[in-house]
Amino acid sequence: MSRSSTSSDKMLALDNQFCFALYSASLAMTKAYKPLLDNLGLTYPQYLAMLVLWQEDDLLVKDIGEKLFLDSGTLTPLLKRLEGAGLVARTRDERDERQVRITLTPEGRALKRRARDIPRQVMCASGQSAQALGTLRNQLVQLRASLAGADEADEVDEADE
């Protein structure tokens, strides 16, 4: 077996994959959130949508999608379930009836109080300090931006061909 073959094999080992470490950490994070969110009657994606709305109420579906990096095909069923649970209201935008506006109901606003301790509980479960998690979060945001920039550069290159 050649030296380069051995090096290539090591590069393909699952335990050496950054993507797998990120993926499996994401699964573990979602699992840590599950019992906390079960108490609120929310799934993790629904919780993310509620975080957006708790920060800024009365948004268009497309604006929520941009913040969560989700397309409307993924987001719409999630928002319909939140509406069914009485947490949000979906209405046509007055200026553009093709757009759907999402607003919190009183029940949706009240749920925020019950969710306030979740970030602290997850931080405790992680065994990490707030500073360490903040640093990691910033690095992941930079990674996401770099990867999104690489995708955009690839799309431009393909258009030039």
pLDDT tens digits, 77-120? 999 999 999 999 999 988 888 889 999 999 999 999 999 999 99
Q: What's the CATH fold of domain 40-115?
A: Arc Repressor Mutant, subunit A (1.10.10)
Q: In 3D, which of 86, 115, 91, 87 has the Cα closest to residue 102?
A: 91
Q: Residue 151 has what DSSP assignment?
A: H
CB 111 within 8 A of CB 120: no
Give the up-direction half-sphere exposure of residue 129: CA atoms within 13 A in the CB hemisphere. Answer: 3
- pLDDT at residue 144 above 60? yes
CA-based max dimension of the chain = 68
- pLDDT at residue 1 above 80? no
Domain ranges of the chain: 40-115
Q: In 3D, which of 72, 66, 58, 137 has the Cα closest to residue 105?
A: 58
